[in-house]
């Protein structure tokens, strides 16, 4: 049996953590986080504001070191790799905020998104075409300065930029935050279509109802610790989210 018992099906594990702790100053913000993300799944992290969701995803992305514990991408330990090395290994990340260059055009944003990678790992013409086909709203605005995009369009562009690196796992920090219901639905549709192409998704979400609809497994993080790891079905039928959030 694996660490999640029956929660994780027979899927191959593509990303996992074991006893991860991290923080910014003296105390750990998150501690003892152990998860296993199945290949091709949508793994969603929910929890109250300030519970450590972004901190956890930053540790996965390599922007904040894990103080203890292990992180694996497939069989490879990545805990000591830099953020660009992790992108090169197949782990792309879309931050919660400031995730595009507003002074550059949409096309330039796509181009610079893999500029930090070694030349041979940068987006190929084929990958660019693939990304533009998934994101027509981006493809139709290549010459526009990104600062003129709406909030929803910016999120789409940030999402598209991350896809330029052809990741096997995509980390999304609240992609639907602050968006109108129409854009929330569009972002979730996009997450689903990228996932349908075989990309594993780890996503933080505050739009819990919508998030549970597309998630395979949900981590409920409260006060930097795992409160529950369960399927959306179990959460909806056997648990009370309000009680869970109280810790
Ligand atoms: N750069 C930082 N330096 C110091 N403390 C930080 C930093 N970033 C976050 N924190 C603190 O870490 C805790 C967890 O923050 P984090 O951003 O991970 O929470 P979150 O669950 O993503 O919240 P939200 O739902 O508001 O996005 C908070 O107490 C926050 O103040
Ligand atoms: Mg956050």
**Domains of the chain listed by start with CATH number:** 5-245 (3.40.50.300)
Ligand 1 centre distance from Cα of residue 54 (Å): 7
- Does residue 237's CB lie within 6 angstroms of at least one atom of ligand 1? no
Listed residue (91, 241, 96, 235) closest to 172, CA to CA: 96
> SS3 of 80, please?
coil
Asked whether residue 117 carries a pLDDT value surpassing 80, the answer given is: no
Which secondary structure element, helix H or strand E, spans residue 213, and what is its range? helix 208-214
Confidence (pTM): 0.92
Higher pLDDT: 18 or 26? It is: 18
Measuring from atom 1 of ligand 1, which residue has the nearest CA? 24
Exposed / middle / buried, residue 117 (Cβ in 10 Å: 0-12, 13-18, 19+): middle
Paired strand residues for 221: 226
How far is residue 171's CA from residue 202's CA, in Å, rounded to a whole number? 5
- Helices vs strands, H then E, count in the chain: 10, 10
CA–CA separation, 158 and 101 (whole Å): 9
**Ligand 2 centroid to residue 162 C-alpha, Å:** 18
Statement: residue 1 has pLDDT above 80: no
Residue 178 has a pLDDT of: 87
Cβ neighbours for 140, distance < 8 A, ≥ 6 positions apart: none
Query: Percent of the chain having pLDDT more than 70?
Result: 94
Confidence bin at 2 (pLDDT 50/70/90): very low
Distance (angstroms) between ligand 2 centre and the Cα of 10 equals: 30
What pLDDT is recorded for position 10?
61
Tell me how far apart the alpha carbons of residues 108 and 51 are, in angstroms, rounded to a whole number.
35
Please provide the DSSP assignment of 134-203 as one string: H-HHHHTTTTSBGGGS-HHHHHHHHHHHHHTT--SEEEEE-TTTT--HHHHHHHHHHHHHHHHTT-EEEE
Give the three-class secondary structure for 107.
helix
What is the pLDDT, as a whole number, of residue 6? 44
Closest residue by Cα to atom 5, ligand 1, is: 24
Question: Which is the closest atom of ligand 1 to the Cα of 55?
Answer: 18
Q: Note the pLDDT of residue 35.
A: 97
> Based on C-alpha coordinates, what's the Rg of the chain?
17
Instruction: Name the residues around ion ligand 2, CB cutoff 5 A.
Output: 53-54
SS3 content of the chain, % helix, strand, coil (to 5): 40, 25, 40
CA of 183 to the centre of ligand 1 (A): 25
């Amino acid at each position: 049996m694996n660490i999640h018992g029956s929660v994780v099906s027979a899927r191959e594990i593509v990303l996992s953590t074991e006893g991860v702790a991290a923080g910014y100053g003296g105390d750990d913000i998150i501690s003892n986080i152990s998860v296993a993300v199945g290949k091709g799944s949508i793994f969603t992290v929910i929890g109250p504001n300030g519970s450590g969701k972004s901190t956890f995803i930053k540790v996965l992305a390599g922007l904040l070191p894990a103080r203890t514990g292990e992180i694996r991408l497939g069989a490879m330990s990545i805990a000591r790799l830099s953020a660009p090395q992790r992108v090169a290994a197949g782990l792309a990340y879309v931050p919660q905020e400031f995730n595009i260059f507003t002074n550059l055009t949409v096309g330039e944003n796509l181009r610079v998104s893999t500029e930090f990678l070694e030349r041979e790992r940068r987006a190929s013409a084929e990958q660019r075409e693939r990304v533009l086909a998934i994101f027509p709203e981006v493809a139709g605005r290549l010459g526009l300065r990104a600062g003129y995009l709406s909030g929803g369009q910016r999120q789409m562009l940030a999402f598209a930029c991350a896809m330029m690196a052809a990741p096997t796992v995509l980390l999304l920090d609240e992609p639907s935050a602050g968006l109108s219901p129409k854009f929330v639905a569009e972002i979730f549709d996009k997450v689903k279509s990228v996932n349908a192409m075989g990309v594993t998704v780890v996503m933080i979400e505050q739009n819990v109802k919508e998030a549970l609809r597309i998630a395979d497994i949900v981590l409920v993080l409260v006060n930097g610790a795992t409160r529950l790891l369960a399927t959306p079905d179990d959460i909806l039928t056997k648990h009370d989210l309000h009680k869970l959030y109280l810790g």
